[in-house]
Structure 1
Amino acid sequence: MALFFFLTAQSQNKDLPDVGIIPKIVVKAIGVNTDIQGIIKNDSNLFKTLSSELIIISNMGAKNASKAEQKDNFSIAPDEVKIVATKNINVADTDNIIVLFLIYEDEKLIARDRKELRRQKNDPNVSDGLEIKGLVVENVRSKVGKDFYDYFYQQFTLKNPESDQLVKVEEQLGIGIGTRIQIKVQEDLVFESFARPNEEQLVNLANSAVARVLQYFKQKERQKQLLRQF
């Protein structure tokens, strides 16, 4: 039986002090297999030593309810983005999933994120697995391409884009001048540049690419609003 899920998110930091730590739960779904990642951005100017707790509760309130926990310690530099927790789950027999991502400093809770995944049947607009906004896929061939994709993906998901359009990161290998990176939204080319094996250059390139994609989303949304007026 095909399973269909929709995903909801809630802001969970209103009652916590702003310490410049931004947690983000990212869900990647392929059929009934789902990767859940906990990503941290250090938006402060301080080096931090922190701990995280990723909690996944399945079928809460049912007889077959289950709970999985993963705890990790990590350090993070100013302006750094880091994946600190990863968990793979199977959602074949799951009615709902609650994911909590908690960040601690000196055993004190300083930031958190929360997401819910619920089963939604018979929706023709949803394909098997999880319907997730901000979906990014890649077709890269080299380490440079993979590094660029990782930097782009981390920054893109932290921006929490509302668009449901598919973003594709593609690579065309070059000779002598580096590798060519292309980013398409659906089939529209919105960003293209050469990339070289230099971390600073790749990070800056990824940030520019994210800004270009978000600008494209805004343009498309303005066009939709104009069409609604006529």
Structure 2
Amino acid sequence: MNNTTVYKELNYLLVSIKKGNGGNLSNNQQSGKFSVNPNEVKILSEISVNLESKDALKAFLYIRDEETQKLVAKDSLELNSDLFKKKTAKIEEDAAYELRGLTIDETKTKVGKDFYDMFYMQYSQLPDKSSSAVTITELPLRGTSGQINIQMEDKIIYSFMTNPAEDYLKEQLVYSLKYIKEFNAKKNLIKNEFIY
């Protein structure tokens, strides 16, 4: 529900993770753009999950402003969450592995989509993928140009102007993968400094 007096254009990401009785994990991801008028209630998405009595479910909803890409709201839902806590370390490791290498396409033009497709093909083949999602967003600029941002953990780690030339996109792909690798190395270094 939009509790403000302003019309809003937003994006949503809905991720659900189901743990079956045997310990196997499955996930579902839905995303999209939507607009909402003041005091309007809107159904963004519906998921249907077949849950047995010993199954557990976690669902996460993130809503971002379409223009600024800032997180506006988030919510989560857990069913039978105590079943997630059993063998916690193993399940968290499996969930991180399951979501490892997650990429989110928020491009708007053919050039942006071409870059995302090239990026996805290369990134999915890397042996050491990040446990953080990589979001590729595109912002339109004046004229026919635009800006593509590579984001991880709500931080822009690399940004470049769009250009339809394939050689240029391949060059930007190399830079993007390099900066992702550096970001992960710094994150792991900081994480390891606090392990005693």
Residue 83 of structure 2 is aligned with which of 122, 146, 157?
122
**Larger helix proportion of the pair:** 2
Contact conserved, 1:136 with 1:167, CA < 8 A, in 2?
yes
CA deviations over 1:42-100 (Å, ceiling 9, x no partner): xxxxxxxxxxxxxxxxxxxxxxxxxxxxxxxxxxxxxxxxxxxxxxxxx969xxxxxxx
Residue 70 of structure 2: aligned partner: none
**Larger strand proportion of the pair:** 1
Residue 18 of structure 2: aligned partner: 3
What SS class does the counterpart of residue 83 from structure 2 fall into? coil
What is the alpha-carbon distance in structure 2 between the residues aligned to residue 137 and residue 31 of structure 1? 10
What SS class does the counterpart of residue 122 from structure 1 fall into? helix
What SS class does the counterpart of residue 149 from structure 2 fall into? strand
Residue 139 of structure 1 is aligned with which of 87, 106, 112?
106
1:167: how far off?
1.0
Does 2:137 correspond to 1:166? no
Residue 39 of structure 1: aligned partner: none
Residue 196 of structure 1: aligned partner: 163
1:204: how far off?
1.3
Residue 185 of structure 1 is aligned with which of 139, 148, 152?
152
1:168: how far off?
0.6
Cα distance change of structure 1 residues 197 and 227 upon mapping to structure 2, 3 Å threshold: same
Residue 39 of structure 2: aligned partner: none
Q: Structure 1 counterpart of 2:118, which letter? A: Y
What is the alpha-carbon distance in structure 2 between the residues aligned to residue 162 and residue 209 of structure 1? 13
Q: How many residues align?
A: 120
What is the RMSD of the two structures over their aligned residues, measured on CA atoms? 3.1
Structure 2: gaps spanning 5 or more residues: 1-16, 31-48, 52-81, 86-90
TM-score of the pair, normalised by structure 1: 0.45
Cα distance change of structure 1 residues 92 and 156 upon mapping to structure 2, 3 Å threshold: farther
Percent identity between the aligned chains? Answer: 22
Structure 1: gaps spanning 5 or more residues: 8-28, 33-90, 94-120
Residue 28 of structure 2 is aligned with which of 27, 30, 33?
30
1:211: how far off?
1.2
What is the alpha-carbon distance in structure 2 between the residues aligned to residue 6 and residue 203 of structure 1? 35
Contact conserved, 1:133 with 1:165, CA < 8 A, in 2?
yes
What is the alpha-carbon distance in structure 2 between the residues aligned to residue 205 and residue 184 of structure 1? 14
Q: Structure 1 counterpart of 2:137, which letter? A: E
Higher RCO, 1 vs 2 (CA within 8 Å, ≥6 residues apart): 1
Residue 224 of structure 1 is aligned with which of 167, 179, 191?
191
